[in-house]
Amino acid sequence: LLVDSTGIKFLGDGKWQARKHGVQGRRQWRKVHLAMDTATSDVRAVEFTPSREGDSPVLPDLLDQIWVDEAIGTVTADGAYDTRRCHSAIIARGGTAIIPIRKNGRLW
């Protein structure tokens, strides 16, 4: 699985409109978290969260969306997912984590 997230603006002025007319209201964002099967390019799990929520708390929920009888070989993600909770969730599903150490990471 390949896991990542991105932000989506769903309310608020665009850059051009804000520059021309001034900011009318606060922009509102949501995060879309995706888990994609790299072999088939299928999206296997999706989760929407408020923009203030981090990436790592969502990973166990993404893994729960995949059938329990389906094997998960590896889970590849960026350093935002380098937490004990994420590693534990991946190991519980029988997978191997390919996650780089965070910039401020330390040994557990």
Compute the C-alpha angle 44/4/14, nearest 5°: 110
- Global pTM value: 0.79
Domain boundaries, the chain: 2-98
Express each pLDDT in 40-79 by its tens digit.
999 999 999 988 888 999 999 999 999 989 889 999 999 9
Nearest alpha carbon to residue 79 among 1, 5, 11, 28 = 5
Express each pLDDT in 16-28 by its tens digit.
666 777 666 666 7
